Amino acid sequence: MTFTQRQTLLVARWEFRRFFKWKDGLILFGFMMAGLFVFQLFGSFLEDKPPEGAKIVVQASTDEFPVPDDSDAFTYRSMPEADRDELAHLLQDDEADAALIVHAPDSLELLVEKKPAWIDFLEAELTEARKLAGIEPYGLTSERLDELLASVDVELVFLSPDRERTSKGELMVALFLVLMMVMGIWVGGALTFVSITGEKQNRITEYILSAVTPQVWIDGKILGMAGVGVAYVVFFLGLLTALASLVNAFAFFFIPIEWSIHVSSILMMAVVLALGYLMWFTFIGAIAATVNDPNTSNRGMVMMLPMVPLLLALGALKNPDSVLMTVLGMVPFTAPTVFPARLALGDPAFWEFLTAVTGLVVMTWILRNYAGKVFAMAILMTGKEPTWAEMRQWIKRV
């Protein structure tokens, strides 16, 4: 191992120990679980529930609309001759909760004093009553009509019995790994911004760069912060798994027994995702070095860029072997999210994997060198953020 490599690992280890605090993570996890519990508790109170005997007055100007029979939720009272003023008085005197005015079978008004929480339940009951009245002349029951209107269910039967189990298992693993990658980028990328911009504002980096080169410093930060992102994701995942085991939901976090996976596919996914993970950190590190004040800079929006390939990968779920998905599976910035989905659902050739890996390695190396050059110039620049044109000049000149 060369002296430069030892320095890079030393910086990476220092950054990792500085930002990975398992005690803080445990406290944060506790707050997250408490917030989830409160959310579920309030959600149970806010859940829509059918009313108990809401009184509905029906004023129908046509005989074509059937008044439903009374149910546990609603009781109906027919007043075909009542005018709007009379209906309003019934509501004001609490003799009715609402007045239903029927102008035509498809034109109804509900007169109320305030918006009722049970409007959806009333609409469902009125729709069912109208449907029953419409099919009665034809001798059909509601169940028979539902059968006729039901969509045809086509079951896929694969020539190879293992193909279905493998597709499900590999898809779940692919989605899991991609989400873990994005979460790691968010966590580690945010800390990368904090680290670089904080040192720049406190004028610490000038002293450090007297001992190591800017390239070694940025390489160490990229590796260290990438490790922090992975550590926090694994840490939280471990806590969730332990918590799930306590509530007898342990199997939720693992692939069911009836699923199977190909180890070679998982290894290829892991390689592509790991390279994509490092590539995004080199890009984030270069951008963070140009930020003068994270509180006022809009370059922090770069943290949202990994979401764009994630959204594009959704197209692979529908048509994984399309030309567009095949190309996106080999483009460096989209390969980490698209290729794993294609590997699980499609049939990519091995040369596509080699192309994706080669592109990621080359792009990571290019961004790493660019990040070092931009870091060397921008980290010493205060007062203003360099423009994109200035950064291009630095890359050409340095």
**Which residues are CB-neighbours of 91 under 8 A, at least 6 positions away?**
97, 98, 99, 111, 112, 113
Measuring CA to CA, which residue among 324, 373, 371 is closest to residue 346? 324
Q: What does the alpha-carbon distance between residue 128 and residue 227 come to, in Å, rounded to a whole number?
A: 58
Residue 271 belongs to some domain of the structure: yes
User: Do 168 and 136 share a structural domain?
Assistant: no
Residue 309 belongs to some domain of the structure: yes
Residue 281 belongs to some domain of the structure: yes
- Dihedral sign computed on CA atoms, order 310, 316, 318, 323: positive
User: Do 267 and 327 share a structural domain?
Assistant: yes
Contact 269, 356 (CB under 8 A): no
Alpha-carbon distance values, 70 to 48, 117, 119, 141, 173 (Å): 20, 19, 16, 20, 51
Residue 59 maps to which CATH number? 3.40.190.10
Residue range of the domain that includes 67: 54-146
User: Do 198 and 96 share a structural domain?
Assistant: no
User: Do 329 and 237 share a structural domain?
Assistant: yes
User: Do 193 and 231 share a structural domain?
Assistant: yes
Taking only the tens place, the pLDDT of each residue in 320-375 is 888 888 888 898 988 888 888 888 777 788 999 999 999 999 998 988 888 787 77
Taking only the tens place, the pLDDT of each residue in 303-324 is 777 778 777 777 667 778 888 8
pLDDT at 379 over 90: no
Q: 328-362 in b/e burial notation, b at 16+ Cβ within 10 A? A: bbbbbbbbbbbbbbbbbbbebeeebbebbbebbee
* pLDDT level of residue 256 (50, 70, 90 thresholds): very low
Run of H or E residues at 60: strand 54-60
Residue 73 belongs to some domain of the structure: yes
- Looking at the structure of the chain, the number of domains it has is 2
Q: C-alpha 247: how far from its chain's center?
A: 25
User: Do 191 and 276 share a structural domain?
Assistant: yes
Half-sphere CA count of 259, side-chain side, radius 13 A: 14
Residue 45 belongs to some domain of the structure: no
User: Do 213 and 135 share a structural domain?
Assistant: no
Chosen domain end from 90, 120, 146: 146
Residue 29 belongs to some domain of the structure: no
pLDDT at 190 over 50: yes
3-state secondary structure at position 385: coil
User: Do 167 and 100 share a structural domain?
Assistant: no
User: Do 269 and 323 share a structural domain?
Assistant: yes
Percent of the chain whose pLDDT exceeds 90: 4
Strand boundaries in 216-346, DSSP class E: none
User: Do 212 and 361 share a structural domain?
Assistant: yes
Q: What does the alpha-carbon distance between residue 135 and residue 62 come to, in Å, rounded to a whole number?
A: 18
pLDDT at 248 over 70: no
Residue 315 belongs to some domain of the structure: yes
For the chain, the helix, strand and coil percentages under 3-state DSSP, each to the nearest 5: 65, 5, 30
DSSP code, position 104? E
Alpha-carbon distance values, 222 to 5, 188, 189 (Å): 13, 9, 9
* pLDDT level of residue 60 (50, 70, 90 thresholds): confident
User: Do 205 and 97 share a structural domain?
Assistant: no
